[in-house]
Structure 1
Amino acid sequence: MKIFRFFACLLIAVMLGTTVAGIGGGVAFAAVSLIPKGVPAGALSAELIPEVWTKEFIKRFNHIDQGTFLEGISDYSAMVRDGNIIHLIDFGCDPDVLVNNKEYPIPVQDMTNVDKTLTLDKLQTKATPVSDDVVNDVKAEFMPAVIDAHRIQLEEYRLDKAIYNFAPSKNADKTPVLTTTGGKETLADGTRLRFSREDVVSLKLKFDQLQVPAAGRRLVLCPKHVADLLMVDQAFAQQYYNYSTGAIAKMYGFDIYEFVNMPKYTSAGNKKAYGASAASGDQEASVAFHVSRVSKATGGRKQYLSRAETDPLYQRNLYNVREYFLALPKKDEAIAAIYSGVKSA
């Protein structure tokens, strides 16, 4: 019975192929799926039962579309030279003002200028192999997909490292690190205190006391703090629902952004190492900064590709990328962080 069904299906396939030969005999393979299971090995050649590939690449999720908090900050890419180092001058003194002065000569006030050196990180992706066997079997455009994957990885690293570098290492006079207070809502996540508008007001006061200019203040919220505001703040929820650009809203002088991969702080308020796993008591933080006090730069970028034609042993293509990048505060001031506080025992 199986053999009879097999020949019947094969006949249908041949008839279909003949009928539509003028517009592509490949339609005959539409009937191949009807071939019953259990056909003896070798009964049909590989040409008659080809593997069917969709040529669709299932790519992992990425968060590069949430990186607009970098837009508009100082970009020194055009100043990067050999060595991938940028030199800035820290103008270390503001002249005193004399009021109704009657004494001459006017006093001389020295200024101490400091060379601020910014060194770009060298970023290199691991090489991705694409063998000729895979290319021939799948017949898909592998290399564009591989190149795109390397680009996305570099872009994600740039964003992740940028927001990490913009966060102060610990609380200091010019780089405040605060904890949430819970606002009108007492508890949110176990013993974690909610992030609220009251916390934004506290952050605003710190920036005001440091005389940080009002224009150019940015606050990048971590996912938990966004969730806190969405749960209890109707005005924020409405703005969040309607936003279509990187900036969600403006709150008490801060342009509000969100980002998914934020730096972590210990319960003592110390920033953890980049990429470190969270331990008990650690909390993600939201980060604030003034656009004039942070910087970014992209240096040389080079792509590396070896073709399968030059690899007789493995017959594979290899691709990777080298790039230089930095995103750092120009000076340790006008940057801040706020992480979730906890209920006292």
Structure 2
Amino acid sequence: MKILIVGGSNSLIRDGYVKYFSEELRHRYETVEFRNVSIGGTVSLTSLVLLDQLNFHPDLVIFEYSLNDTGHLNHLEKGSELKKYFLGIIFNFLARRFPEAKVLPLILSASPFYDMKVRNTIYLAELDFWRRKGIQPVDMRRQLFELFGTQAPEFLYSDTSHFHRGAACALIGKFLAAAVPATLALQRSLGQLNTSHSENQLDMVDYYSARDLMEGSEGNTSLEPIFNRHLNLECVKVMPGGRVRIPSAGNVLMVAFVSDDSHQSFTLVSGSSKTSIAARHVDVKAGKIVLTSVPLIIRSFQLGNECHEWLALDESNDPWVFDCFLPPGMSQAQTSFSLAGLLIQR
């Protein structure tokens, strides 16, 4: 059996729930192969970058992005709509790539939302999305609350957003493993389930990789590999004087890139109009890189669709700033921007 894990930082923790999940499954099944393409510190749409280049055909996809998207979307007026839209895009993408696979969502909750009486609109939206698909997630928010009551035990969270400690990770891993047999036996495949409450709109959404985008680049650009112990992917390196054509001159919903200390922002151009976007992730330190994305779909929900033609480096000091990015400093010169992919609505 082949299992693909798609999630946030909790799915990457050494000796985290994935360790206990894998141990449980190896007791139950003769052969189990795992592939983990999780990305921490970002929204779920960023997962499309690694999924797009994946050469692996899973029988089961574990999807764990509830905690991440809650942090980024729960305070927004249309956060629940955005969450369902995110899930619809990712679900359609998974169904096209892995039509024979089954999906098992894992719902984790940050400590401020441990108590079930605390309203979490993103959690409710996710439950509704999976219910409409006929999919039963592993809801660890409810499971842990029912186990321990209104006060979370001290061992449960290592900080507000992470489960590092052995007992907590073992509980999550065991609950998740226990749900696998029923999911494999009873659930329909992703391809069979691929109908959506907003199907027509989602069918107009396409993901373009760096290699796709390089074909429409002009000026000072190049296709270059970026790798460290966590990453191995291609990016279009956009330098001053370079620009990348937006395919179909569509509405850019998400810009995925490798954030580092060589840039502060980028700009999307439509005719004489320019939209400046902050691009320095808060977790970037000198010499470090972070694969991340800016979900411009949030702007679309607030301001309406925009038709973009080009992406380039930007010199504005007044960009639109998503919550995990820094506003640009006045003194830093921009030398390059590493574009990993675009999500575009035609």
Tell me which interval the TM-score lies in, with the shorter structure as reference length. under 0.3
Higher relative contact order (CA 8 A, sep 6+): 1
Highest CA radius of gyration, 1 or 2? 1
